[in-house]
């Protein structure tokens, strides 16, 4: 979707203290060979701080940077991957109460790790459709994987799960970046890959079943061995399709893209699923950052973009691609143009 007059007024990330992967090996939580294969050096560990509270901390920083008042906001869109709090409770209204505290709609965007990119598209649509309404939408995300139903070290060979909060202020007023295009492409024939033969009812968590994507991948290995083909599709093709369609809508090519913000996969899966399909090397991506954070769930896109901007690795006129993925399978992409220099005081750039 090509966009006109939509900007990022601010972004912010709250990263808890880092837990080194070497320490996790020494603690018996992680295997040394897996550590070496992943290339990941550390992940943020929030202890007992809730996902919604991580989102609130990031949101308060983003709001302070944005120059907007709470009365400027039309909505709040909150994303998450893991459990947020009591069953039947509304995390998004908790975040709303502790940030804007206004009687606007607060919506949960359940789109897995693609949540914030999908929310960005929704915000752009809302701000475009109602040009006389409030000029801003607040996006938030927050996850803490320290629960009995998730093992951040062994849930998947594709990534290690890191805790974080993130926020973005999407606005019709100029900010530090201009949104040129945003959208997504899905390959629903691959939906079963993340189901792996697990029954839909009763839902696994209600029975105490943990998040174990490796177990589901192993299911398909066994099925293939006995002659049952797995769901067919190439996720790398989905990533490439989302990127090239968004570039076309933005009127750009990959040659125009200065840097790429990708999700925090481990080294080899990152190469196969994102870097190779985009025909870029790790230096053009943000591996130097994501190898220290792992996979931050829905917060990845904002965390990467904030890192590039506040560390001075982008400057006005640069084009940045932000790309992510979710089960389904679906890939999402946004292309932004940096319109302002890095913050004057780097120490003010993080929540």
- The pLDDT value given to residue 347: 45
The CATH class that applies to domain 7-175 reads alpha beta
Q: What are phi and psi of 12, to 5 degrees?
A: -160, 150
Strands 42-44 and 164-171: unpaired
The answer to pTM > 0.75 is yes
Please state, in angstroms and as integers, the Cα–Cα distance from residue 310 to each residue in 174, 304, 317, 338, following that order. Answer: 17, 10, 15, 12
Apex CA 328: angle with CA 323 and CA 333, to 5°? Answer: 15
CA-CA-CA-CA torsion sign (214, 157, 309, 303): positive
Range(s) of the chain covered by CATH 3.40.47.10: 7-175
Strands 177-186 and 18-20: unpaired
- The pLDDT value given to residue 192: 86
Residue 106's SS3 state is strand
- The pLDDT value given to residue 54: 98
- The pLDDT value given to residue 351: 44
List CB contacts of 94: < 8 A, sequence separation 6 or more: 52, 56, 85
In the chain, which stretches have pLDDT less than 50?
Answer: 346-351
d(CA 136, CA 118): 16
- The pLDDT value given to residue 221: 82
């Amino acid at each position: 979707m090509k966009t006109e007059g939509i900007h990022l007024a601010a972004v912010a990330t709250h990263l808890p203290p880092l837990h080194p992967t070497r320490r996790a090996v020494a603690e018996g939580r992680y295997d040394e060979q897996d550590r070496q294969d992943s290339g990941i050096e550390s992940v943020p560990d929030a202890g007992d701080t809730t996902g919604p509270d991580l989102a609130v901390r990031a949101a308060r920083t983003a709001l302070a940077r944005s120059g907007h008042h709470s009365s400027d906001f039309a909505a709040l869109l909150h994303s998450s991957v893991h459990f947020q709090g009591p069953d039947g409770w509304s995390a998004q209204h908790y975040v709303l109460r502790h940030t804007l505290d206004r009687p606007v709609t607060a919506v949960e965007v359940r789109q897995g790790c693609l949540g914030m990119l999908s929310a960005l598209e929704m915000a752009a649509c809302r701000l475009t459709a109602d040009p006389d309404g409030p000029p801003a939408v607040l996006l938030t995300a927050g996850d803490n994987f320290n629960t009995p139903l998730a093992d951040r070290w062994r849930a998947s060979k594709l990534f290690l799960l890191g805790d974080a909060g993130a926020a973005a202020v999407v606005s019709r007023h100029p900010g530090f970046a201009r949104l040129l295009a945003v959208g997504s492409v899905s390959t629903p024939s691959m939906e079963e890959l993340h189901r792996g033969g697990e029954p839909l009812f009763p839902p696994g968590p209600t029975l105490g079943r943990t998040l174990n994507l490796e177990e589901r991948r192993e299911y398909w290995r066994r099925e293939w061995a006995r002659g049952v083909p797995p769901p067919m599709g190439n996720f790398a093709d989905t990533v490439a399709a989302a990127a090239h369609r968004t570039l076309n809508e933005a009127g750009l090519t990959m040659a125009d893209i200065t840097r790429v913000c990708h999700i925090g996969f481990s080294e080899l899966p990152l190469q196969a699923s994102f870097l190779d399909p985009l025909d870029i090397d790790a230096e053009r991506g943000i591996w130097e950052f994501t190898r220290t954070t792992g996979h931050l769930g829905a917060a990845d896109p904002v965390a990467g973009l904030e890192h590039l901007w506040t560390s001075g690795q982008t400057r006005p006129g640069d084009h940045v691609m932000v790309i992510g993925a979710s089960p389904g399978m679906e890939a999402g992409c946004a292309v932004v143009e940096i319109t302002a220099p890095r913050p004057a005081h780097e120490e003010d750039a993080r929540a």
